[in-house]
Amino acid sequence: MAPVKNRHFVKTKPKFFSKYKKYFTFDFCEKLLFDPSYLYPVCLVIFVCEVLLNIFIIEKVNYTEIDWIAYMQEVEGFLNGTWDYQYLKGDTGPLVYPAGFVYIYSGLYYITSYGKNIHLAQYIFLMLYLAQIALFYRILIKTLKIPPYALMLSTITSYRIHSIFVLRLFNDPIAVLLFYASLNLFISNKWILGSIFYSLAVSVKMNILLYAPCLLIAYLTNLNIIRTILHLIICGLIQILVAVPFLYTNYYTYLKGSFDLGRVFEHKWTVNYRFLPREYFEDKYFHIGLLVIHVGLLILFTPKLKQYLSSYAKLNLITTHLKTQLRREQKKKQKKDSKLNKVEQKFVDSFEKQLRTNGNKRETIEDVMDDKTKLQNKMSKITQLFVLPFFITNLIGVACARSLHYQFYSWYFHSLLYLVFCSGYRKQTMFLILAILEYCWNAYPSTNFSSVLMHICHVCLIIGVYKTMNQSKSVITP
């Protein structure tokens, strides 16, 4: 009888491990922290953490009453039949917000049992906060500018923004939410819807008008003159439609109350000009001086805003065409693959294996698809040319504001992270600026020191972004 040959048993790794082992490597973890193209999974994790964090804040941190009762009193007058703005008042003074605010808070008035169920209102504002960060995350994912670790740090160190949403219930975040919706629609080439949401944002609070100069340039560079006029008409019609009952009753008091450009703020609440004596702070020539600086900065930035938005318009047409071609090629390939029988598919698999054995790692189907994904990522970065002009225009407006109150932090909080990464500064300087601004907005009451520091940070950011935009090298870089 012939001797039995020794059989060598080869241990095979479990299929599950071989399929997912790439997710347990140092290289993958490094990409999750530093590669902007890996923002999507990181954003999902941060989103879940935000849900849990805000629920904890609502349940464990005491609510602070500031304007909610006054909001309810103002809309209660409207619901009782008073449509003249001069008679709509609350404990903090007359109503100073446009008609969109009245309708939104009227809805909240009924949902929260005439404004008494504040706990429910907090959870409603939690939903609004989650919607806003989801829209902002989409912008970050589209632009591929911010590394994931920076978003993590920004999220875990932002105390003030959470309190503005779920502990204060201000109307500012609602206006910003609607603006982010419009910005997402613009970068998705849905201009009419974008214009509608932008005008709705203005109807909640007029600080959204700070974006208007950039939006006008975006219209002129991405649309023709006729379409620009059409979109301006759309924005205007939205304002008229939401304000019809108030305009019909007393158009003068409505316009004066909701769009009062000469409004004087109280010095005791200012965050950015605490170091000024009250008489200088309230002086009309000081306000005129700030307006001149604001207009001057906009004029200085206008050529770069136009250059960026014009480049975006041209490249957007090209990328749209390329993406269409990629989709067509993918569909053709899927049809071709679906016709392969088992024998043919086995041959394709063995051929790919042979290519890998020979050291050619660029010919597999997965690698080809990966190349297409990378190409799409590069095309997506063109969105940076559209987003940066809007964010810097808003920052200029905030920096030149006559007075900033604590809730105004929501006007530009999320865009600050994007702006520091467009400033050209070293990483240490970027995070130092963000940390100082967070300190300034959390210092209560504000001090001379915190106010001066805030202006220094704003000036540094504006200078840094201007230098970046003024360079011949494009900012379309991770």
Q: Which residue has the tokens 């900033």?
A: 404
Please say whether the beta carbons of 156 and 202 come within 8 A: no
| Spatial separation of the C-alpha atoms in residues 433 and 461, rounded to whole Å | 8
Rg (Cα) of the chain, in Å, rounded? Answer: 27
Write out pLDDT tens, residues 392-449: 999 999 999 999 999 999 999 999 999 999 999 999 999 999 999 999 999 999 999 9
Give the C-alpha separation, 399 to 463, whole Å. 12
SS3 of 379-435: the string is: HHHHHHHHHHHHHHHHHHHHHCCCCCCHHHHHHCHHHHHHHHCCCCCCHHHHHHHHH
DSSP secondary structure string for all residues of 33-71: HH-GGGHHHHHHHHHHHHHHHHHHHHHHS----SSHHHH
pLDDT the model gives residue 153: 92
What lies within 8 Å, CB to CB, of 398 at 6+ separation is 210, 404, 408, 411, 412, 458
DSSP state, residue 165: I
Q: How many helices (H) and strands (E) does the chain have?
A: 20, 2
Percent of the chain with pLDDT over 90: 72
Q: Which residues of 238-252 are buried (b: 16+ CB within 10 A; e: fewer)?
A: bbeebbeebbeebee
Find residue 193's DSSP bridge partners: none
pLDDT (tens digit, 9 = 90+) per residue, 445-460? 999 999 999 999 999 9
Compute the C-alpha angle 185/191/196, nearest 5°.
80
Tracing tokens 């006008």 back to the chain, one arrives at 216
- The string of pLDDT tens digits covering residues 237-265 is 999 999 999 999 999 999 999 998 877 78
Q: What percent of the chain has pLDDT over 70?
A: 82
What gap in Å lies between CA 135 and CA 177, rounded to an integer?
Answer: 8
**CB within 8 A of 63, min separation 6: which ones?**
118, 119, 122, 167
Q: Supply the pTM of this predicted model.
A: 0.87
Whether residue 445 has a cis bond before it, omega within 30° of 0: yes
Helix axes 118-143, 172-187, angle to 10 degrees: 30
Identify the band that residue 317 occupies on the pLDDT scale cut at 50, 70 and 90. Answer: confident
Handedness of CA 122, 128, 131, 135 (dihedral sign): negative
Distance from C-alpha of 43 to C-alpha of 370, rounded to nearest angstrom: 21
Q: Are 435 and 157 in contact (CB under 8 A)?
A: yes
Per-residue pLDDT, 365: 40
Q: Which residues of 467-478 are buried (b: 16+ CB within 10 A; e: fewer)?
A: ebbeeeeebbee
In terms of Cβ atoms closer than 10 Å to its own Cβ (0-12, 13-18, 19+), residue 392 is buried
CA atoms within 13 A on the CB side of 255: 6
Among residues 248, 229, 219, the alpha carbon closest in space to that of 389 is found at 219
Helix (H), strand (E) at residue 76: helix 68-79
| Band of residue 366 on the pLDDT scale cut at 50, 70, 90 | very low
46-75 per-position pLDDT tens digit: 999 999 999 999 999 999 999 999 999 999
pLDDT class of 163 with cuts at 50, 70, 90? very high
Q: How would you label 454-466 residue by residue, b for 16+ Cβ within 10 Å and e otherwise?
A: beebbebbbebbb
What is the CA angle 471-476-478, rounded to 5? 115
Q: How many C-beta atoms surround the C-beta of residue 13 within 10 A? A: 9
Compute the half-sphere exposure of residue 430: CA atoms within 13 Å on the CB side of its CA. 19
Contacts 24+ apart (CB under 8 A), 115-124: 115/68, 115/69, 115/71, 115/72, 115/76, 118/63, 118/68, 118/169, 119/58, 119/63, 121/68, 121/169, 122/58, 122/63, 122/166, 122/167, 122/169, 123/58
Q: With a cut of 70, say whether residue 1 has pLDDT above it.
A: no
Per the CB < 8 A criterion, the answer to whether 207 and 411 are in contact is yes
Tens of pLDDT, residues 108-157: 999 999 999 999 999 999 999 999 999 999 999 999 999 999 999 998 88
